[in-house]
Amino acid sequence: MKTDISLEEAQTLLLELVQSVKECQVPLTSAVGRIVSQDIRTNINLPLFDKSPLDGYALKAKDTEDANSSNPVILEVIEEVPAGYMPKKQVTSGTAIKVMTGAPIPNGADVIIKFEDVKREENKVELYYPLRTGSNIIRVGEDVRQGEVIAKKGAVLNPPLVGLLAAIGVDAVSVFSKIKIAILSTGDELIDPSEELRSGKIYNSNLHCLGAYCSQLGAEPVSLGIVPDEEAAIVERINQGIELADLVITTGGVSVGDYDIVPTALKKIGADIIFWKIDMKPGSPIITAKYKNKLIIGLSGNPAAAFITFDLIVVPLIKRMMGIDKELPVKFSAILAENFNKPSEQRRFLRAKLQKNNRINYVELTGDQSNGVLKSMVACNALIDVPAGSGPLLAGQEVSAVMVGSGSELFI
DSSP state of 124: E
* Stretch touching its own copies by CB under 8 A, among 12-20, 70-78, 291-299, 348-356: 348-356
Applying CB under 8 A, among 39, 68, 82, 124 the residue interacting with its own copies is 82
Please, what is the minimum distance in Å from the beta carbon of residue 44 to its own copies? 7
Dist. CA 268–CA 291, nearest whole Å: 11
Task: Answer yes or no whether residue 354 interacts with its own copies by CB under 8 A.
Answer: yes
Task: Answer yes or no whether residue 178 interacts with its own copies by CB under 8 A.
Answer: no
Residue 321, phi then psi, degrees to nearest 5: -65, -30
Residues 308-347 that bind its own copies (CB under 8 A): 330-335
Quick note: the x/- pattern for its own copies over 367-396, rule CB under 8 A, is -x-xxxxxx-xx-xx---------------
Residues in a beta bridge with 73: 127
Instruction: Say if CB 243 and CB 215 are below 8 A apart.
Output: no
Dist. CA 156–CA 144, nearest whole Å: 19
Quick note: the x/- pattern for its own copies over 46-75, rule CB under 8 A, is xxxx---x-x--------------------
Which of 144, 151, 147 is closest to 32 using CA atoms? Answer: 151
Please, what is the minimum distance in Å from the beta carbon of residue 93 to its own copies? 25
Query: For residue 190, how far is the Cα from the chain centroid?
Result: 34
* Stretch touching its own copies by CB under 8 A, among 68-76, 141-149, 236-244, 261-269: 141-149
Task: Answer yes or no whether residue 135 interacts with its own copies by CB under 8 A.
Answer: no
Dist. CA 375–CA 384, nearest whole Å: 17
Applying CB under 8 A, among 19, 199, 293, 341 the residue interacting with its own copies is 199
Applying CB under 8 A, among 13, 92, 102, 130 the residue interacting with its own copies is 102
Applying CB under 8 A, among 162, 182, 280, 295 the residue interacting with its own copies is 162
Number of residues that bind its own copies (CB under 8 A): 112
Applying CB under 8 A, among 73, 144, 245, 299 the residue interacting with its own copies is 144
Applying CB under 8 A, among 1, 24, 83, 149 the residue interacting with its own copies is 83
Please, what is the minimum distance in Å from the beta carbon of residue 207 to its own copies? 7
Residues 221-280 that bind its own copies (CB under 8 A): 223, 228-229, 255, 257-259
Q: In the complex with its own copies, which residue's Cβ is closer, 159 or 391? A: 159
Dist. CA 345–CA 211, nearest whole Å: 33
Applying CB under 8 A, among 12, 264, 356, 388 the residue interacting with its own copies is 356
Instruction: Say if CB 266 and CB 298 are below 8 A apart.
Output: yes
What are the angstrom distances between the C-alpha of 61 and each of 49, 94, 128, 134, 231?
20, 11, 12, 8, 86
**Torsion, CA 96, CA 101, CA 102, CA 106, rounded to 10:** 0
Dist. CA 19–CA 33, nearest whole Å: 19
Dist. CA 35–CA 156, nearest whole Å: 5
Dist. CA 404–CA 392, nearest whole Å: 23
Residue 200: half-sphere exposure toward Cβ, Cα within 13 Å: 3
Length of the chain, in residues: 412
Applying CB under 8 A, among 6, 135, 158, 264 the residue interacting with its own copies is 158
Please, what is the minimum distance in Å from the beta carbon of residue 411 to its own copies? 5
> Is cis: bond before 282, omega within 30 of 0?
yes
Q: In the complex with its own copies, which residue's Cβ is closer, 61 or 330? A: 330
* Stretch touching its own copies by CB under 8 A, among 7-15, 25-33, 230-238, 387-395: 25-33
Applying CB under 8 A, among 161, 182, 350, 352 the residue interacting with its own copies is 161
Residues 274-303 that bind its own copies (CB under 8 A): 301, 303
Dist. CA 15–CA 376, nearest whole Å: 28
Please, what is the minimum distance in Å from the beta carbon of residue 365 to its own copies? 15
Task: Answer yes or no whether residue 138 interacts with its own copies by CB under 8 A.
Answer: yes
Dist. CA 312–CA 286, nearest whole Å: 12
Residue 113, phi then psi, degrees to nearest 5: -115, 140
Please, what is the minimum distance in Å from the beta carbon of residue 190 to its own copies? 7
